[in-house]
Structures are given as structure tokens and as C-alpha cells.
Amino acid sequence: MPRYPSTTPTLFIIGGAEDRVGRAALLRRFVRISGGRHSRLVVIPTASSFQDEVVASYREVFNRFGVESVDVVSPQSRHEAHDPRSVALLDQATGIFMSGGSQLRLSQFFPGTPLGDALHRAHARGAVVAGTSAGASIMSEFMISMGDEGITPVQRASQVSAGIGLLKGVIVDQHFAQRSRYGRLLSVVATSPSLLGIGIDEDTAIEVTDGSRFTVHGRGGVIVMNCRDVVTDAPEARRGAPLLISGAVIHTLPAGATFDLMSASLVDFDEQHADVGISLAAAKS
């Protein structure tokens, strides 16, 4: 049986367009927490329209970091999502990586199938489940499967579909600043105020431990939207109308920030762009 670096359930969720040709810091971090050179990795390129190229690209990066065991699981139908060999590969993995593409392809083949169940088992036993772009969106119970872009939240501008449900109580959006997705995420969270919205920039990731808190890594930022106490006209607004949303709490988190999902609050900050680290306690004093 493979040995896991940690028994703590860990997700590594990337906002897309992560560096693969330079230092590749985010992918390096994924390999490290999955077991380093001794990792048993599985790449899931199902979301992509160029699956062979995606597999070759990630395999080259992971091999460069010394990982020799890199397998592929890529169902093309719900029937193939019952394949015992593919299930066995996920059951033996110490790290699983879902590529970008169309999250609707992932939602067709993983939730409610044996492969989806294997992802949950992997997460529960301590394998690292990672995803970028579409592979990031699928992590939560509900995901934005399509929607308009822009700053202003608009009534019914997004479509929400079922995700894999590895991360509860949130909805994740990706390519966040680069594709101006602030409005669509805010419109979804304002109409579902029990959920926190998490928007992740490109070449940026959140490392989620035990489903309760995350730390930010990478070049960009992460936005957390809390609409638990908002006033909104969403129940009355017509389709396409700009939404009234008053009282939302917005957190902007760079690398080094640690955020608690249960209390929806910042719990620590280690400054990544200064010579001396700054703790949250020091910042408050």
C-alpha cells in the first residue's frame, strides 16, 4: 500500500494557468505534499479537449521533479466511470490532479459514479486531490458551470451545476481577476448566502486542510465573499438586471494568508513580499 505524507484530508485548488515551464512553484508544492519523489500520481485530463497534450505536459513536469509513477484516468462516459482498473488507480494514488477544460465534462462523469466515490476515499485517507481551472471548480458541492463575466453582479447571469462535493459550504471560481469573474461569483453567493464564494487568480492556489481552513500560495490573490448578512433584491429582480447586494464582506488574500472557513475569518498572515514575516497577532498590536 502507498504511504501518505499526511492523514489530514488535503485539497490543492489552483485558479488555472499555473506555471509549468519555469520554477513551477505550485506544481512543485503539489508533488511535495503528495509524497515527493515517492508520490504515486494520477492525472485526470477529462475536462480538456486536448487530453494527450495535457497528459504529456503534466507528466513532463512531474518527472522533472523526480516522480516516476504518473498514471492517467480519463473516463469518456458515465459507463467508463465504472471501470475497475481506473478505480484501483485512484485507490492507490497519493496525489490526484484534475486538469482544466470544461467543468461540465467532469460533472457528467464523476459525481455519483465509482470514480467519484474513489476521489472521496482518496481525499479521506490523506491523498492530495488537486485541480486547476475546471478541476478547481468541480471541488465544491455546487459549481459555476457557465456564466457572464464582468464586475457587476447580474440576476441569472450564471448556471450552477453539481460538483464532486469534496469541499463543503463554498463555491469556487477560477481565472478570477484575469477573466473579471467578480460579478458572477457575487451574484451566485448573494442568492445562496449559506455558501462562501472563493475566487482564485491564475497561478495561485489554496491548500485546504481538513475542509476547515486554507492557506494561499502563488503569484496572485484569492477573494472570499461572505454574503451571510446581505440585503439583496434577488428574489424580485428581473432576469439580466443589476443586483442590489448590500453588506457583503469581502476578503482579499495574498500568498501567506490563512483563512478559517468555519468562522469566515483570517487567522494568520505570513508576509511573502517583505524581508521579515508579519504575524496576524503583530499586525493587530
Gap between the Cα atoms of 56 and 61, Å rounded: 9
Contact 188, 141 (CB under 8 A): no
- Catalytic residue positions? 133, 175, 202
Contact 217, 204 (CB under 8 A): yes
Q: Reduced to 3 DSSP states, what percent helix, strand and coil does the chain have, rounded to the nearest 5?
A: 25, 30, 45
Query: Which cell numbers in the block locate residue 143?
Result: 459549481
- Partner residues linked to 225 by β-bridges: 197, 250
Q: Report the chain's C-alpha Rg in angstroms.
A: 19
DSSP, res 74 = -
* DSSP code per residue over 206-275: EEEETTTEEEEEESSEEEEEE-TT-EE-TTTPPTTPBPPEES-EEEEEETTEEEETTTTEEEEE--SSSS
Owner of C-alpha cell 504518473: 70
Query: Which cell numbers in the block locate residue 66?
Result: 523526480
Instruction: Say which amino acid occupies 60.
Output: E
Gap between the Cα atoms of 258 and 197, Å rounded: 16
* β pairing state of 249-254 and 204-209: unpaired
